[in-house]
Structure formats: structure tokens, C-alpha cells
Amino acid sequence: MSATCGWVETAIRYKFLACFLLAGTLSADLDACPYETAEDTHSSAFAAGCLVRSEGKMLVVRHKFSGKLGIPAGYSDGLESARCTAYRETLEETGLEVRVHEMLEEFDDGFRLFRCSLADYIPTSDPVDVPASGIAEISEVIWFEPDSAPQRQWRFPEQHPALMLLFDALSSQ
């Protein structure tokens, strides 16, 4: 009987240890940025985001409180580069890992928009669930036909014309 109890205790300890290590690994993924180079450390911005085009569609999120659409983006933690902000915010809001390429635009308010691509192919016909890291602010992750929503449905409507032009320009790349 005591051997069985000892085995159960050991199994519970290992299960706890495995969960602890897994939780640390998942949070480390959100904190780790593959874009920390000497060049990037001098390139901070208060906010940055990703313009992702795949199969003719744009990756967008619907913001929970306003119901408005936007590209995956957010504010810097103050210590990271603009590219890392774009990477981290896209991962947090969509659960999708991206490759962050060149900066496409710096808007008048200092927001930096990067061309990004999916790290792994995902068909745009597949639904994307909002990850736990984005559930507080994002209600939906959408592969979006850019012409299907008027400017007033965007969180930052003043950026909409530039986003559409940049999105169209990505089709030729």
C-alpha cells in the first residue's frame, strides 16, 4: 500500500513539475523576440504592428470594447524595439507567430507598421481562435477581404487609406 502511495505522490510531483515548466515555456515565448539586433535596439516606437497578407486577405482583429477592426498592433513595453513590439503584439492578439520584415510606414503619431508574414502556413479559410493572451482586448481574429469594410469600421479610420494602399502594394511582392 505504501509503495502505491509513493508512486502516486511521485507522479503528482512530476505532473506539477511538467505543468510548471510548460507554463514557463509558454510565457517565455511571448517574452522572447527574435529581432533583438544592435540595429533594432535603437529603433523603439511607442506602438507598432504587423500588416500580414496571405492568399489575398489581410489579418485583422476585432477589438472587444469598440467592435472596430484593426491590424494586430499595440504599445511598446518601453524596453523593446519597434520590430519586437510588432512581433509580440501580433503573437499576443492572434496567437500566430510571424516574421517581421521591413517597416512599411511610420504614421504621424509615431506608429510603425511592418510588413509581416506567417512563420508557418495557415490557410485563410481556417478560423483563428483568439488566444488566452488576447482575450481581454480582442473578440475575433479574422482573415479579411480589405474592400469589405468601410473606413468608419476601423479603429483608426485616418490610417485606413494608407493601409489599403500598402496592402495592395504587397500583392506585387
Continuous segment of H or E residues that includes residue 169: helix 160-170
Which amino acid is located at 122 in the chain? I
Q: Where residue 34 falls among pLDDT bands split at 50, 70, 90? A: confident
Distance CA 129, CA 94 (A): 7
Task: Give 54-113 pLDDT, tens digit per residue.
Answer: 999 999 999 999 999 999 999 988 788 899 999 999 999 999 999 999 999 999 888 999
Is the backbone of residue 110 left (phi > 0), alpha (psi -120 to 50) or beta? left
Which residues, in sequence order, are CB contacts of 54 under 8 Å at separation 6+? Answer: 117, 118, 122, 124, 143
pTM: 0.78
Is residue 144 within 8 A of residue 57, CB to CB? The reply is yes
Mean pLDDT of 130-145: 96
Region 38-170: CATH code: 3.90.79.10
**Sequential DSSP letters for 65-84:** TT--EE-SEEE--SSS-HHH
The average confidence (pLDDT) of the chain is: 81
